[in-house]
Amino acid sequence: MTTDEQRVVRAQIVESGPSLDEVLDWVRHPEAGAVSLFVGTVRDHDGGQSGVVRLDYSAHPDAEQHLARVAEEIGRLPGVLHVAAVHRQGELAVGDTAVVCAVSAAHRAEAFEACRALIEQLKATVPIWKKQLFETGSTEWVGL
């Protein structure tokens, strides 16, 4: 098993991307028997309302530091080897990738559980907000 110093934890807030291949490369490890990947995409509905045409993500200036803390916490879970989390900010269209989380671990159960914990903690604690634009022209802020 790797030591804490050997673990790779990547956490970024980006304007474009993220590249799924790059995120997968960040978490590859020779001791990993599993990699769990979560990809969040922009959908055309939210909260029972259809017609979402665009999202504008805004991140607090400290959001990347918050994201790094979450990723580091997940990296300390038993069996976890490497952790990566990348969230977009700016304007995204329906179908665009908004967030990618990846975790490598010795076994699949550890990878699945850690990846789910990563995205759940990210959504609950990292100060990133989205403004939804609907085809009617109306807007709605989420996460404020």
pLDDT, tens digit (0-9, with 9 covering 90-100), for 54-87: 999 999 999 999 999 999 999 999 999 999 999 9
Across 6-15, 74-83, 113-122, 131-140, least confident range: 6-15
Indicate the pLDDT class of residue 5, thresholds 50, 70 and 90.
very low
Give the 3-state secondary structure of residue 115. Answer: helix
Q: Provide the pLDDT for residue 95.
A: 95
Whether the per-residue pLDDT at 3 is higher than 90: the answer is no
Which amino acid is present at 2?
T
Residue 43: which residues within 8 A CB-CB, separation 6 or more? 52, 94
Assigned token pair, 65: 């530091």
The DSSP letter of residue 18 is -
Indicate the pLDDT class of residue 143, thresholds 50, 70 and 90.
confident
Assigned token pair, 96: 């665009």
Rounded to an integer, what distance in angstroms lies between the CA atom of residue 85 and that of residue 76? 15
Rounded to an integer, what distance in angstroms lies between the CA atom of residue 110 and that of residue 56? 33
Whether the per-residue pLDDT at 45 is higher than 50: the answer is yes
Preceding amide of 18 cis, omega within 30: yes
Rounded to an integer, what distance in angstroms lies between the CA atom of residue 116 and that of residue 123? 11
Angle, to 10 degrees, between the axis of helix 63-75 and the axis of helix 108-125?
Answer: 150
> Cα dist. 14→18, 25, 31, 63, 78 in Å?
7, 17, 29, 11, 29
Whether the per-residue pLDDT at 21 is higher than 50: the answer is yes
Mean pLDDT to the nearest integer, 28-41: 96
Indicate the pLDDT class of residue 46, thresholds 50, 70 and 90.
confident
